[in-house]
Amino acid sequence: MGDKLLAGDRAASSLGFLLSQVGAHAAKRFAQRIAEVGLHPPLFRVLNAVDAAEGQSQQTIGQAIGAPASRMVAIVDELERSGLVERRPHQSDRRIRALYLTKDGRRILTQGRRIAAEHEAELAAGLSQADRGRLVTLLQRIVEGQEIGSGVHPGLSEPQESSSGGKNP
């Protein structure tokens, strides 16, 4: 019904609009899904980064994923309070605190990765493996061309809005 009314609307064939539409949908849906394990997307991103660079400093991990220092401190504080990561003295410099996943952190990360895989499968429903691979390659090229930064989560740059209207770390 609405298709005829908006026949001249070019949004549906605009790359920017489509990227925004899919991105907003994917972000909202993933946030809902990852909340099942008590996380929000930036927390999940940091858990993944800690797993990949366990024993590195909070500063090093934050820089690698494009998280401002103040934001990284707040996220790691939240993960530590939740018992998912721990700060330990760095092996070569006792002034630096290194990040490690706890047993619960590994369990939650495993559950989160399962949710992420299911989410990706849902998003790619209807695409062949070849089309999915091409789409990922093309999106990576856009990320590189726009100098966004590989692996940088947009939710890390600004605090999350809480349901009460305030900011969450």
Cβ–Cβ under 8 Å, residues 34 and 112:
yes
Does residue 167 form part of some domain?
Answer: no
- pLDDT band, very low/low/confident/very high, at 2 (cuts 50, 70, 90): low
pLDDT tens-digit series, residues 96-142: 889 999 999 999 999 999 999 999 999 999 999 999 999 999 999 99
In a domain? residue 2: no
Q: Which domain holds residue 81?
A: 20-146
Task: Over range 34-63, report the average pLDDT.
Answer: 95
How much is the pTM?
A: 0.82
Smallest Cα–Cα separation from 124: which of 137, 139, 135, 113?
135
Residue 8 in any domain: the answer is no
> What CATH code is carried by the domain that includes residue 126?
1.10.10.10
- Residue 135 falls within a domain, yes or no? yes
For residue 24, being part of any structural domain is answered with yes
- The pLDDT, as a whole number, for residue 163 is 40
What is the total count of domains within the chain? 1
Mean pLDDT of all residues belonging to the chain: 87
Percent of the chain, pLDDT > 70? 88
CA distance 142 to 136: 10
What is the Cα–Cα distance from 125 to 121, expressed in whole angstroms?
6
